[in-house]
C-alpha cells in the first residue's frame, strides 16, 4: 500500500513538472505571435534555421517513425506478435507529427499563410514535398488512430468504415512517411559546403530512411518500458526481444552504408585528423550505433526490460537524434559576421511542446483503448479452462 502511494505521489510530481513546462511554452507562444520572432529568438539572416527546425522537425519526424515501421511489420509482413504495440506506436507517431506541425507554425514568419502552399505548388522544392508529407501523414495517422476513439464512444458505423479501408490507409501511410524521411535528407543535399564532410554524403536520403526504420522499433521499446512503469501496462518480453533484433539488424545495414560511403569518399583519415568533429562522429557511431548492436544481441540483455530500454535509448539519443541535430545545427555553417545560440524562449518552446505531447500521451492512454491490446494475449491464455457459470 505504501509503495502504491509513493508511485502515485511521484506520478503527480511528474505531471506537475510537465504542466509547468507546457504553460511556460504557452506563454512564450503568446509573446511570439504578438511581438513576432525577433522579440524572442536569436535567429538572423546568417543562418537558414535555428533550434526549432533542428530539434522539433528533424528529430521529431524521425522519432515518429514507429507508426509506419510497426504498421508495416504487422499488416504487410504479418508479424502478428507485434500487434499489441501497434496502437501505442501510432499514437506516438501522431503526437510526434502534431509536435512537428506546431513547431513549423511557430517557426514560420507568417504561419497564417501556410495554406497558400496548397494552391501555389513549387514541385522543385524539397520544402514543398515536406509540407505535403507532414499534412497528409498527420491526417492518415489521425484516421489510423480513430478506431480507438470510435471504440471508446461505441460508434460502430464509423468503426466499420475505417475497418474497410484500413489496409489501403496503412499502405498510403507507409508510402508517405518513408517519402518524408527521404525528403528531409534531400533538403540537406543542397548544403554541399555547409555540412561537415564527415556527415555530408549524396546518400543522406537513404541513410535517413534506414535510420528511421531502426528508430521505429526502438521507440516502441522506449515507450513500452515507460508505459509499463507509469501505467502498469504489461508487454511480453518476447516482443521487446524481437524488436531489439530488428533494430540491430537494421543498424548493421546502416553502419555498413556509413562506412562504405566514407571509404568511397576517402574520408577515413578525417576520423583521426579532423578535430573536434571526429570526437562527435565517434560518439555517434560507437555510442549510438555499435554499442546498441552489441547490447541487442546479448542474451542477458534480451531478457531484461531495463537492458533493452538502455540499448534503445542509446540509439534514440546518440545514434539518431545526435546525428540529425549535428547535421542540421552544430556543423551547419553561419555566414561571416553572424553568430547564433538559441534564446531561452526557443528552448522553452521546444521543451514545452514535448511536455504537451507527453501530457496528451498520458491522457490518451488513460481515456482510450490504446494499451488494452498490450495484455490482451496474456489475459486470455490459449488453454485456459472455461469459467464456471453460477448456479441459477
The string of pLDDT tens digits covering residues 329-378 is: 876 666 777 788 889 999 999 999 999 988 898 888 888 888 754 433 33
Is residue 378 in some structural domain? no
Q: How many other CB atoms are found less than 10 A from the CB of residue 385?
A: 6
Q: How far is 18 from 359, CA to CA, in rounded Å?
A: 7
Average pLDDT value for residue range 137-157: 90
90, 136, 255, 320 from 94: Cα distances, Å = 6, 12, 29, 19
**Number of domains making up the chain:** 1
Q: How far is 358 from 344, CA to CA, in rounded Å?
A: 21
Q: pLDDT-derived band of residue 386, with 50, 70 and 90 as boundaries?
A: very low
pLDDT of residue 331: 65
Q: pLDDT-derived band of residue 7, with 50, 70 and 90 as boundaries?
A: very low
Q: How far is 205 from 201, CA to CA, in rounded Å?
A: 9
Residue pair 247/222 in contact (Cβ under 8 Å)? The answer is no
Give the percent of the chain with pLDDT over 70: 90
Q: pLDDT-derived band of residue 311, with 50, 70 and 90 as boundaries?
A: very high
Residue with more model confidence, 43 or 308 = 308
Average pLDDT value for residue range 221-234: 78
Is residue 13 in some structural domain? no
Which residues are CB-neighbours of 355 under 8 A, at least 6 positions away? Answer: 18, 19, 21, 22, 25
Average pLDDT value for residue range 85-108: 87
Average pLDDT value for residue range 239-245: 90
Closest CA to 222 of 245, 244, 238, 203: 244
Question: Over 60: is that where the pLDDT of 154 sits?
Answer: yes
Question: Over 70: is that where the pLDDT of 264 sits?
Answer: yes
In 96-188, which ranges are E strands?
Answer: none
Is residue 299 in some structural domain? yes
Question: Over 90: is that where the pLDDT of 66 sits?
Answer: no
pLDDT tens digits along 24-37? 999 999 999 988 88
Is residue 233 in some structural domain? yes
Which residues are CB-neighbours of 50 under 8 A, at least 6 positions away? Answer: 41, 42, 43, 107, 329, 340, 342, 346
pLDDT tens digits along 276-305? 888 999 999 999 999 999 999 999 999 988
271, 289, 294 from 300: Cα distances, Å = 33, 19, 12
Q: How far is 121 from 178, CA to CA, in rounded Å?
A: 21
Range of the domain at 159: 47-367
pLDDT of residue 372: 53
Residue with more model confidence, 112 or 250 = 250
Q: Tell me the backbone φ, ψ of residue 193, rounded to 5 degrees.
A: -105, 5
Is residue 385 in some structural domain? no
Is residue 59 in some structural domain? yes
pLDDT of residue 391: 40
Residue 1, classed as helix, strand or coil, is: coil
pLDDT of residue 25: 92
pLDDT of residue 333: 64
Is residue 176 in some structural domain? yes
Question: Over 60: is that where the pLDDT of 100 sits?
Answer: yes
pLDDT of residue 382: 40
Q: How far is 44 from 30, CA to CA, in rounded Å?
A: 21
Is residue 20 in some structural domain? no
Amino acid at each position: 500500500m505504501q509503495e502504491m502511494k509513493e508511485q502515485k505521489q511521484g506520478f503527480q510530481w511528474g505531471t506537475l513538472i510537465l504542466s509547468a513546462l507546457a504553460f511556460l511554452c504557452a506563454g512564450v507562444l503568446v509573446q511570439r505571435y504578438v511581438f513576432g520572432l525577433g522579440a524572442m529568438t536569436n535567429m538572423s539572416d546568417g543562418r537558414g534555421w535555428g533550434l526549432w527546425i533542428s530539434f522539433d522537425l528533424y528529430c521529431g519526424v524521425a522519432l515518429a517513425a514507429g507508426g509506419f515501421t510497426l504498421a508495416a511489420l504487422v499488416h504487410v509482413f504479418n508479424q502478428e506478435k507485434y500487434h499489441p504495440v501497434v496502437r501505442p506506436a501510432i499514437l506516438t507517431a501522431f503526437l510526434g507529427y502534431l509536435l512537428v506541425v506546431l513547431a513549423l507554425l511557430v517557426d514560420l514568419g507568417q504561419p497564417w499563410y501556410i495554406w497558400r502552399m496548397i494552391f501555389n505548388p513549387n514541385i522543385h522544392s524539397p520544402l514543398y514535398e515536406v509540407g505535403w508529407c507532414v499534412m497528409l501523414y498527420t491526417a492518415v495517422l489521425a484516421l489510423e488512430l480513430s478506431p480507438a476513439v470510435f471504440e471508446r464512444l461505441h460508434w460502430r458505423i464509423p468503426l466499420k468504415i475505417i475497418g474497410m479501408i484500413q489496409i489501403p490507409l496503412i499502405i498510403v501511410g507507409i508510402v508517405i512517411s518513408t517519402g518524408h524521411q527521404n525528403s528531409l535528407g534531400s533538403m540537406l543535399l543542397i548544403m554541399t559546403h555547409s555540412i561537415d564532410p564527415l556527415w555530408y554524403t549524396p546518400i543522406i536520403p537513404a541513410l535517413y530512411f534506414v535510420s528511421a526504420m531502426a528508430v521505429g522499433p526502438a521507440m516502441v521499446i522506449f515507450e513500452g518500458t515507460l508505459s509499463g512503469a507509469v501505467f502498469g501496462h504489461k508487454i511480453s518480453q518476447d516482443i521487446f526481444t524481437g524488436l531489439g533484433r530488428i533494430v540491430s539488424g537494421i543498424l548493421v545495414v546502416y553502419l555498413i552504408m556509413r562506412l562504405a560511403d566514407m571509404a568511397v569518399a576517402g574520408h577515413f583519415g578525417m576520423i583521426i585528423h579532423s578535430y573536434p568533429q571526429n570526437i562527435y562522429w565517434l560518439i555517434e557511431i560507437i555510442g549510438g550505433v555499435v554499442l546498441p548492436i552489441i547490447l541487442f544481441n546479448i542474451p542477458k540483455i534480451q531478457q531484461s526490460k531495463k537492458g533493452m530500454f538502455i540499448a534503445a535509448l542509446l540509439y534514440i539519443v546518440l545514434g539518431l537524434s545526435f546525428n540529425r541535430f549535428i547535421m542540421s545545427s552544430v556543423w551547419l555553417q553561419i555566414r561571416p559576421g553572424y553568430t547564433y545560440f538559441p534564446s531561452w524562449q526557443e528552448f522553452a518552446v521546444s521543451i514545452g511542446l514535448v511536455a504537451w505531447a507527453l501530457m496528451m500521451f498520458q491522457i490518451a492512454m488513460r481515456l482510450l483503448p490504446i494499451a488494452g491490446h498490450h495484455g490482451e494475449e496474456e489475459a486470455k491464455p490459449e488453454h485456459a479452462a472455461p469459467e464456471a457459470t453460477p448456479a441459477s
